[in-house]
Amino acid sequence: MDKLELLKNNLKAYEKLCIAYSGGVDSAFLLSVASDVLGENVLAVLIDSPVLTRRDRKDAVDFLEKAGIRYEIVKENPFVSPEFCENSRLRCYYCKNNNYKLIQEAAKQNGIGTVADGQNADDAQSEHRPGSKAAKELGVVSPLIDCGFTKEDIRFYSKQLNLVTWDKPSNACLASRFPYGFEITKERLAVVEAAEETLRKRGMEGCRVRWHDTIARIEAPHRFFDAILNTQAIVEEIKALGFKYVTLDLEGFRSGSMN
C-alpha cells in the first residue's frame, strides 16, 4: 500500500485527533492529511513561546488560516522551568514534557483524547532526541513513524499535495542555538532571533546564528557563503546586537551541531 494511503487508513482509526503543530514540514503535512481524513474532528495546537521566532509563528498561523483548519494557540513561558534555563543536555526533554502537557490539556478541553506529533522515521533513528522520550512517556502518538515516513517522503508527498511547506528548511527552536551549560534568557533568545533575521530578510533561509557569549557563529548553507562574506552590513547589524565578533563556520549548516 502507498504510504500516503496507509497514513490515511491509520488516521481513520481516530475518532478525534489533536496535532502538536509547529508550522514545520512534518507537522504541517500530518495536519493536512489528518484534516482531509477527519475534517472538523482535528484540532491543531500551536505553542507560542519565546523559542519560536515571530516570523515562524506568523507563517504557522497563515498556513492554518489558508487551510481552514481548526486551531488553538497556547502561550507558554519556558523560563518558569529551572531545567530549561540551566540548559542541560536534557533541556529539550523538560521543554517538550511541559509543552505536550499543555497540548493534552487543550485537547481534553475540546473532548479529544489523543495527541499526535510530527516525528518521522529519521527522527526515530537519531541518538539525541530527548523530546521523543517525553512524547512516549505521555502517550503522544507518532503516525508518521508508524507508517515509515522519512523526511524525504514527507517533502515528496507535501509537494504532491501542493503544501507551501514542502521545501521549507528544517528549523529547530531558538534554544538550540546555545551551547549546553550556558544560561538561556529571554534577552539572549531575542538577540539570536534578531541576528538570524538579519540573514533571513536577505533571502538566506536555513541559516543558524550560534551564540558563544561575545561571538556569533553563523552556520549557513554553502551557497550563501559569498553573499555573507561580501555583505558588510550583515556583520555590522549582528555586532550592533552586542556581539564582539561575527564568524562564518566553514563547515556550513549542520542540524544539531551543538549536540
Give the cell for residue 46. 500551536
Cα-Cα end-to-end distance for the chain: 37
What are the Cα distances from residue 169, in Å, to 23, 129, 206?
11, 19, 5
Q: What pLDDT does residue 245 have?
A: 98
Residue 68 main-chain phi, psi, to 5 deg: 70, 35
Amino acid of residue 84: F
Radius of gyration of the chain (CA): 19
**pLDDT score recorded for residue 170:** 86
Q: What's the CA gap between 184 and 175, in Å, rounded?
A: 7
Where do we find the cell 505553542? 47
Distance between CA atoms of 17 and 28, rounded to whole angstroms? 14
How far is Cα of residue 89 from the mean position of the Cα atoms in its chain? 18
Cell of 123: 527522527
Place of cell 483524547: 113
SS3 of 241-255: the string is CCCCEEEECCCCCCC
Beta bridge pairs of residue 248: 218
pTM equals 0.93
Q: What is the pLDDT of residue 1?
A: 66
Total Cβ atoms within 10 A of residue 72: 15
Residue-level pLDDT, tens digit, the chain, 259 residues:
699 999 999 999 999 999 999 999 999 999 999 999 999 999 999 999 999 999 999 999 999 999 999 999 999 999 999 999 999 999 999 999 999 999 999 999 999 999 999 999 988 887 667 778 899 999 999 999 999 999 999 999 999 999 999 999 988 899 999 999 999 999 999 999 999 999 999 999 999 999 999 999 999 999 999 999 999 999 999 999 999 999 999 999 987 767 6
Sheet strand arrangement including 17-21: 71-75, 42-48, 17-21, 115-116
Count of other CB atoms within 10 angstroms of residue 230: 8
State the pLDDT at residue 255.
Answer: 79
- Rounded to an integer, what distance in angstroms lies between the CA atom of residue 130 and that of residue 150? 19
Q: Which amino acid is at 108?
A: K
Residue 259 is predicted with a pLDDT of 66
What's 94-132 look like in SS3? HHHHHHHHHHHHHHHHCCCCCEECCCCHHHHHCCCCHHH
CA distance 134 to 157: 28
Identify whether the C-beta of residue 184 lies closer than 8 Å to the C-beta of residue 214.
Answer: no
CA–chain centroid gap for 46, Å, is 11
